Amino acid sequence: MTVHGNAVETDLLVVGAGPTGLYAAYYAGFRGMRVAVVDSLPELGGQITAMYPEKAILDVAGFPSVKGRDLVAGLVAQAATADPTYLLERTARTLRQRDECVVVGLDDGTEVTAGAVLVTAGIGTFSPRPLPAGEGWLGRGLSFFVPSFEPYVDRDVVVVGGGDSAFDWALHLEPLARSVTLVHRRDTFRAHARTVEQVRASAVEVLTKAEVTTLRAAPEDPDGPLAEVDVTVGSEVRTLPAQAVVAALGFLADLGPLQEWGVEVRKRHVVVDSAMRTSVPRVFAAGDVTDYDGKVRLIAVGFGEAATAVNNAAVVVDPTAHVFPGHSSEATDG
């Protein structure tokens, strides 16, 4: 890695510091490449760190169950073997080809010159979908993520949504909170069927065809913290005690400047071939950001795509290299 003021030179630039990006950083080091990683968030781990660090992840090979924060910690430790340069709280904005390299401009004026770029940006930049009744309540009882369970102990919690995050958080909070109510405007759910069954078998009250219509503080402190909510269920309005509302309504995702790089995009995802190459020379992609026939968006899949992308990028960076690197077990000491 070479750094001169606002200029960085590296073999591989990874755009996105989520699980796929962190594994790609490790693998680049395994292939003997210098690597830099850029991410718009202030911490490593991407969506896991920002949204569900306490969530138990069950489909990562070798881990019957691993908390999101523990998975990220392991990936960071693994990536450290590559001695990556992290460029956090910065966004990759421009890309241009120059001789046998790619130059990526960041929003702080830094220019990164790399032999290849690997985009592992997940869903891109993301912002939570708002709760219509929640305007003015953020920080007073309304939240969109559950980065820690501690604030919900012995509280009445209302979780809004019908997807995996809503059901996961309801299930994890149920043993800790005084009460948990899950509110969803439909009577069908997008969440995994097994998780739905677990929630229904728990003490969580599930209200369907329902909507949170009012958030309210205590009468004696109208500008104070949240005390209760009104939930409209059909023609009935129920008032529930609630010191916390978690609005798990999904996210608005945006690939942002990546769409201006000339890569082929299909339904907000970057199209790649079997080598994880995009339509732009020297630019690869892996993880949830990618699209191809048969694509499955799982962390486990992202790890394999990262290895495929890095091995193919290695040949672009050094034409004398081979795509297959050999087995990591053959590279261990002693």
Residue 292 is labelled as binding a ligand: no
Residue 282 exposure: Cα atoms within 13 Å on the Cβ side = 23
Residue 52 is labelled as binding a ligand: yes
Residue 99 is labelled as binding a ligand: no
Alpha helix segments (H runs only) across 2-67: 19-30, 46-51
Strand partners, 114: 10, 102
Residue 92 is labelled as binding a ligand: yes
Neighbours of 85 (CB within 10 A): 18
Burial class, 198, CB count within 10 angstroms (exposed 0-12 / middle 13-18 / buried 19+): middle
Q: Which two tokens stand for residue 291?
A: 């699209």
Residue 20 is labelled as binding a ligand: yes
Residue 47 is labelled as binding a ligand: yes
Q: Give the 3-state secondary structure of residue 39.
A: strand
The enclosing H or E element of 198 equals: helix 193-200
Task: Give the residue numbers of the binding site for FAD.
Answer: 20, 39, 47, 52, 92, 126, 288, 329
**Numbered residues of the known binding site:** 20, 39, 47, 52, 92, 126, 288, 329
